[in-house]
């Protein structure tokens, strides 16, 4: 779930904060004069599927979380609370078949709130480039 609201008074300026609690992870961060927030819940939970009911369901889920989380959810906004399904996976190796190799999210997609999927994709690219530089055989370099 993802929302954008005019920044409420109790939201600290310039802060990105993530709170992990029972049943949900909640994060918020500034974007210009607004604050974006997200809340992770189980995608199949019917309470979060219908757009009009989402707000109350999220508020109930994080009712015991520290401020300013409840006021962020309650803040009036012209934007709907959107729902995106996030899937993570960690494919079994090998991630290589002949001249085809998987890198980044294709091989090991992470949930976005961990904030490291792009970093890992770049690491993959750097290591692969080094293997290709030192190994003239593409298939062997990919396997390495
Ligand atoms: C909301 C959100 C927040 C995130 N925040 C962070 C963060 O703070 N820090 C961080 O490190 N990571 C973050 N990530 C994760 C990061 O974005 C991904 O891990 C990273 O983009 C993976 O890079 P990639 O090159 O493997 O895949 P992608 O970036 O998904 O690139 C794959 C590309 O392939 C293209 N493509 C797909 N199919 C085809 C096809 N058939 N033919 C041609 N092209 C095709 C796609 O259009 C896309 O451009 C976040 C992700 C999300 C969704």
pLDDT tens track for 110-119: 888 888 999 9
- Protein residue with least CA distance to atom 53, ligand 1: 112
Q: What is the pLDDT of residue 125?
A: 97
Mean pLDDT of the chain: 93
> 50 CA distance to ligand 1 centroid (A)?
27
Q: What is the pLDDT of residue 89?
A: 81
The answer, as to whether pTM is greater than 0.95, is no
Structure tokens, 87: 């899937």
Residue 51: pLDDT over 90 = no
Compute how many other C-beta atoms are within 10 angstroms of the C-beta atom of residue 102: 16
Pseudo-torsion of CA 72, 21, 89, 28, nearest 10°?
Answer: 20
Q: What is the pLDDT of residue 93?
A: 84
29 an active-site residue? yes
Q: What is the pLDDT of residue 8?
A: 94
> 140 CA distance to ligand 1 centroid (A)?
26
Segment 65-75 shows an average pLDDT of 95
What secondary structure letter does DSSP report for 28?
E
* Residues 19-38 pLDDT 10s: 999 889 999 999 998 999 99
Q: How far apart are CA 70 and CA 60, in angstroms?
A: 9
Is 63 exposed, middle or buried, given 0-12, 13-18 or 19+ CB atoms closer than 10 A?
exposed
* Residues 125-139 pLDDT 10s: 999 999 999 999 999
Q: How far apart are CA 122 and CA 24, in angstroms?
A: 29
Question: What atom in ligand 1 is closest to the CA of residue 105?
Answer: 26
> Would you place residue 17 in the very low, low, confident or very high pLDDT band (cuts 50, 70, 90)?
very high
């Amino acid at each position: 779930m993802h929302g954008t609201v005019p920044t409420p008074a109790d939201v600290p300026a310039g802060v990105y904060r993530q709170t992990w609690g029972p049943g949900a992870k909640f994060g918020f961060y500034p974007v210009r004069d607004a604050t974006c927030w997200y809340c992770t819940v189980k995608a199949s939970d019917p309470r979060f599927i219908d757009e009009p009911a989402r707000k109350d369901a999220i508020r109930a889920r994080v009712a015991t979380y520290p401020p300013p989380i409840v006021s962020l959810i309650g803040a009036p906004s012209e934007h709907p609370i959107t729902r995106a399904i996030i899937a993570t996976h960690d494919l079994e190796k090998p991630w290589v078949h002949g001249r085809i190799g998987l890198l980044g999210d294709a091989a090991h997609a992470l949930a976005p709130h961990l904030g490291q999927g792009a970093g890992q994709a770049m690491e993959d690219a750097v290591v692969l480039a080094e293997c290709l530089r030192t190994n003239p055989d593409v298939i062997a370099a990919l396997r390495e």
